[in-house]
Amino acid sequence: MSRVGKNPISVPSGVDVAIEGRNVTVKGPKGTLTRDLPGTVTIRQDGDTLLVERPDEERQTRAMHGLVRSLVNNMVVGVSQEFTRDLEIIGTGFRATLQGTTLDLSLGFSHPVRVEAPEGITFEVPLPTRITVRGADKERVGQVAADIRALRRPEPYKGKGVRYLGEQVTRKAGKTAK
């Protein structure tokens, strides 16, 4: 049995879970998430816990068991607490400002780069060199943060660019004089 899949998912108070066949809807104070479950794995509600069960021991079903449990758990945690991803901007003159829901980035290009917040995602700029991406959907938060990082990846010689908070960038030695 899957070590991840056999763990029950506790549903906190204030979170409602609706299961309709392969479709799971989770509503909470931070939003509503809906997902169609992959594979033949089933999910059932037992009081304030959710149990993920598989019908057989086939390889594909065993693989889906832990995946479905993780996906549903991320939905429950997201609508109750929200997920965050912090980014850091390194470089002279590189900074971020927030105008409404639009993130304006100065990343050394001849023009400012504007990023619109997708639905369900909010940006915060506590410092000009720090960006926080927030949202209930863990996948979407991670993807938006990765898209922002891809605008100017940290380069290996000076380390300038956008990186995740705490990310270690391997530096290369530059040219040496004769």
- The DSSP code for 54 is -
Tens digit of each residue's pLDDT (9 = 90 or more) over 67-116? 999 999 999 999 999 999 999 999 999 999 999 999 999 999 999 999 99
Tens digit of each residue's pLDDT (9 = 90 or more) over 102-140? 999 999 999 999 999 999 999 999 999 999 999 999 999
Contacting residues for 36 by C-beta, under 8 A, at least 6 apart: 22, 23
Return phi, psi of residue 45, to 5°.
Answer: -100, 130
Q: What is the rounded average pLDDT of the residues 58-69?
A: 90
